[in-house]
Structure 1
């Protein structure tokens, strides 16, 4: 058809199949790992119990995927090479209830259009296999042969007819890493399926069939978490979560250690990344990311898995609810620092094709309600009451914190001695900065950074001021002499100071009077906090209460080189033990180091 407009001649034409297929291939096939992903997903959907992947030249020369699944007859094998041909859906309604990995019907023809492909497939009822040879999208031969049940797809000379695409591939080491990561991701979802990946004849990944989720995660991802993985499980409102995580101090400077799965599908989802990161608030330093795995199960009609050609992304129908639920679940799972618990054992998730989850709906729903009421996705304002469960690492719980009695100036906390630091004996301090304790049960030295520990305690209490936490009225107000800039900032930030538990009033033209402070804060620290909040960067103030609570805690916490006596050190330890996150300061830095007998003996060459 031709169209002419003002001397401008345009020609609209239907593209030939060859060009259309190459365009489709550009959406689906980015690199060898894309081919591996599509072929392995097809194998899993075909009911394979074992999947073997063989690579040469990091997949550039050869990608072979062999499975023992259902296989195909001759007619289906040829039809599978047509665009939009699929056995996964039959009507538009099926798009709302997709449970398979592949469904678009574009993978095989797209891959075949930019490679030389050989398919060998036999269903269980057939006496012989069908062999189909394809080159650049054109079927070159169809033959019969003997072969075991299942399907083998061999892809050679990837991008042989698209040299521009071939130029953009990275080196073999990089491309192989992507292939290994792709198979690893699928192995972490389909843990009952056996996977083997070989490159240049060497085994890069071997996972036997019939494993539990815990066994598969320990084998495939365990090397990324030398300290082990901790498990938490939850179910509420038809949604299910499994969370496996390393201690925060084992975090990385990149996101590759964070793996996300939705309804049995590995995804790269920004919403879930933000939700998990929110749950880690105050436990990771800036620029660090957790080593963690999160499996999410929601009803199929609540997500759209058809938003990306390669199915790497999903879209949730109610993103706000999912964000709050995941962030709350992660925060509850991390509460109490299970990696500090003595003798704790992670419970293995129930074995099944997809994770079966325990029911702790009230804890997660309670967190979601608190976050929704407070806004901004902040962590709960008060630490939950501790509940222990035999053998459970993921201590999901809810409730209020024990009452805090007002204290006199100094480090005095009337908190019950219950938590990960029970039974420690104070030995002394180093440089009046690091508190040294002995753990007689575990035969370890425990070293605390006194400033970071006190900072964590105060931070959580500042977060709780809006929830009716006690304040103390000062008999003698603390006077703060202000610069003109500080005096001007006061009018803008007095609400923020009030939310932290401070009552501050103008005192003449150039000063302020602090008449109330949080009950457990020494009056001497009031001036430092007020000055720090008044001098904070506007961008930090705009971040909200959480950022100001961190700043106030840092200003008020006991400083390095300030010697603590035994009673103060023990009081600080008790208060820290009752904290929601007793292992990291509010900026995400670890505040405790444990040295076991083996480490000490090694230092003295006594092994």
Structure 2
């Protein structure tokens, strides 16, 4: 057996570097956080080959005095804390004192720094943990780090790095989070001599979001301002229309620090649950501020993981903030139709002008078609004949127009020429009268406007200033009809609303069931044969722990052997749809710590979501009275915009959009 001995400092530093420095992005994170702690207002990050061969990080912070430079690279040397008590009140991003020593242990580091009080700056070079040079040099205020050849002395670690493109993407993601977490600081990211990110540092978070993510996301944001129980939450929520397929767009910062935490993620996703489809995740940028003693950031050397002293309070605050933000506006998606592609028109041969008013078509003179001309060509004679097939939409439109022409032709054939002339004369007279009336109305409006005095301040048009889903507008909307036996069209003011009867009924049943669970006791309905649940030890323990919650809403259980239960009764409104999977889903939802603390509401939500199976389906006939009742109930709901699974219940199309399609306005 080998003897116990103390490792040499170089080996210790390399082991520590394995915890702090995983890839180039780790170095960028540590040094950028140091720049922020130093009071910098501008930070520039430049990399080459994904940061493997070259990283430069420059800031305009306070700098490091010359006599303290060598000490800064010693292990556990820091200016952020002085004693163990300071760990309970950490306000800086860095504090462990491991970053510089770990980086210097696995790369070639050059640092140029200068304080405002010093005349000259200091250049310091260290490679593999060994000091090489310390000298004075000309420099601007602040600190610049140049890191070359990452893991040059640990080839086993270097081979685990990904391609330069992949490593550069990790650095880019990190710089995005840095810019979002501190909009008051100007960040610039340069990759292979090309500027990728450059924020202004004006302190406006929305501007940073626009610069990083673009116009589409920046124009679909909801602002959040919330405070409760010592927790302050500000930032922006993305509307459900810009949800994404992964969690990469969930940006949340605890006291200015970008972290990943399942408590925060779950609170955000649970609040969005009714607004997003399954396997879709929201876009958020949330700044969460709380007392330093309420959060433990000293969990891992990389400082990406944190723990909360009161997890339930954090969950409740974030959930409430997001939930209120999502319900602040009417989230009915506006439909915008793309301009149809206009097919190229082939000029037709001129037809002879007929002096008769008869609508009977006059045959045009025989003109050789292009196809015949091509077939007569000696070059084209041997080639197979190809026929251009128009797209389906164009064929359907041609068929529709042909039928319309036949009907118009038949109508005119039945009428006499005198009737046609009479109708034309009446139409012209009516058109002229309409124009005179419109001119008079316009003149009267102009006169009233002139008499009213100076114009008031122009107000931006808001299509949802009077909301369709307000409680008092029920008598004002007009039910137009149904299309495809599924979608109902409703007119309200200058908007056309299209309602999915299945999604709307799902939402009504869900909230009705959830509300009734909180206001009255359920009656039970016996089932035969009973549902047998064969559970594992953990699932059985959960069921026993929350047995009273299940029985309160109408379930009845009986012990059926070791860790097995017989379900002999279910709530009466779920008699036809209660399945074994329902109870298993409830137990699975209670398996993690956060859900267990919210078990009462979670069980209610699971049961209520099962009631959606009783909703009317598409293609099911509903009368106008039934739909009017359904819409009336929809107007009274807390969240009428989405079904419990995240699909929209209603979409809108404005009158202006329709007029643009018909070229009434340009």
Pair in the same fold by TM > 0.5: yes
CA contact (8 A) 1:417 1:574 kept: no
Match of 1:455 in 2: 506
Match of 2:20 in 1: 28
The 3 A distance-change label for structure 1 pair 574 and 11 is same
Match of 2:585 in 1: 540
Superposition map of 1:234-383 within 5 A: 234-335=226-327, 338-340=330-332
Match of 1:506 in 2: none
Match of 1:431 in 2: 484
Q: Pick one of 63, 76, 80 that aligns with 1:84.
A: 76
Runs of 4+ aligned structure 1 residues displaced above 6 Å come to 419-422, 479-482, 486-489, 492-495, 601-607
SS state at 2:87 partner: helix
2:251 is aligned with 1:197: no
Deviation at 1:12, TM superposition (A): 1.1
- CA distance in 1 between partners of 2:4 and 2:621 (Å): 82
Deviation at 1:74, TM superposition (A): 1.3
- Aligned residue-pair number: 499
CA contact (8 A) 1:497 1:533 kept: no
- CA distance in 1 between partners of 2:647 and 2:72 (Å): 53
SS state at 1:464 partner: helix
Contiguous gaps of at least 5 residues in structure 2 = 335-458, 463-467, 535-543, 556-567, 590-602
Deviation at 1:600, TM superposition (A): 5.5
Q: Pick one of 86, 107, 117 that aligns with 1:115.
A: 107
The 3 A distance-change label for structure 1 pair 597 and 81 is farther
Render the CA deviation track for 1:234-260: whole Å, top value 9, x for unaligned. Answer: 112322112421122422221101112
The 3 A distance-change label for structure 1 pair 420 and 45 is farther
SS state at 1:459 partner: helix
- CA distance in 1 between partners of 2:301 and 2:80 (Å): 16
Match of 2:612 in 1: 553
The 3 A distance-change label for structure 1 pair 533 and 603 is farther
Q: Pick one of 22, 45, 53 that aligns with 2:45.
A: 53
Deviation at 1:338, TM superposition (A): 4.2
Superposition map of 1:68-83 within 5 A: 68-83=60-75
Q: Pick one of 185, 192, 201 that aligns with 2:177.
A: 185
CA contact (8 A) 2:332 2:651 kept: no
Quick check: 532-541 or 189-198, which moved more? 532-541
2:157 is aligned with 1:158: no
Q: Pick one of 510, 516, 541 that aligns with 1:465.
A: 516
Kindly indicate which of the two structures has a greater share of residues assigned to helix.
Answer: 2
Answer with 1 or 2: which has the greater Rg. Answer: 2
Render the CA deviation track for 1:311-359: whole Å, top value 9, x for unaligned. Answer: 10111111122222222332232236543499xxxxxxxxxxxxxxxxx
Render the CA deviation track for 1:551-571: whole Å, top value 9, x for unaligned. Answer: 11331x222122333343333
Match of 2:130 in 1: 138
CA contact (8 A) 1:337 1:581 kept: no
Q: Pick one of 193, 202, 208 that aligns with 1:216.
A: 208
2:633 is aligned with 1:575: yes
Match of 1:62 in 2: 54
Deviation at 1:496, TM superposition (A): 5.7
CA contact (8 A) 2:296 2:308 kept: yes
Deviation at 1:498, TM superposition (A): 7.1
- CA distance in 2 between partners of 1:536 and 1:17 (Å): 58
Deviation at 1:467, TM superposition (A): 2.5
Render the CA deviation track for 1:350-386: whole Å, top value 9, x for unaligned. Answer: xxxxxxxxxxxxxxxxxxxxxxxxxxxxxxxxxxxxx
SS state at 1:176 partner: helix
Q: Pick one of 29, 50, 58 that aligns with 1:37.
A: 29
- CA distance in 1 between partners of 2:525 and 2:82 (Å): 74
- CA distance in 1 between partners of 2:232 and 2:29 (Å): 25
CA contact (8 A) 2:56 2:144 kept: yes
- CA distance in 1 between partners of 2:206 and 2:474 (Å): 28
Question: How well do the aligned residues superpose, as a CA RMSD in angstroms?
Answer: 3.6
The 3 A distance-change label for structure 1 pair 168 and 89 is same
Deviation at 1:450, TM superposition (A): 0.8
Match of 1:530 in 2: 575
The 3 A distance-change label for structure 1 pair 487 and 42 is closer
- CA distance in 2 between partners of 1:69 and 1:337 (Å): 42
SS state at 2:247 partner: coil
2:622 is aligned with 1:564: yes
CA contact (8 A) 1:86 1:105 kept: yes
Quick check: 323-332 or 119-128, which moved more? 323-332
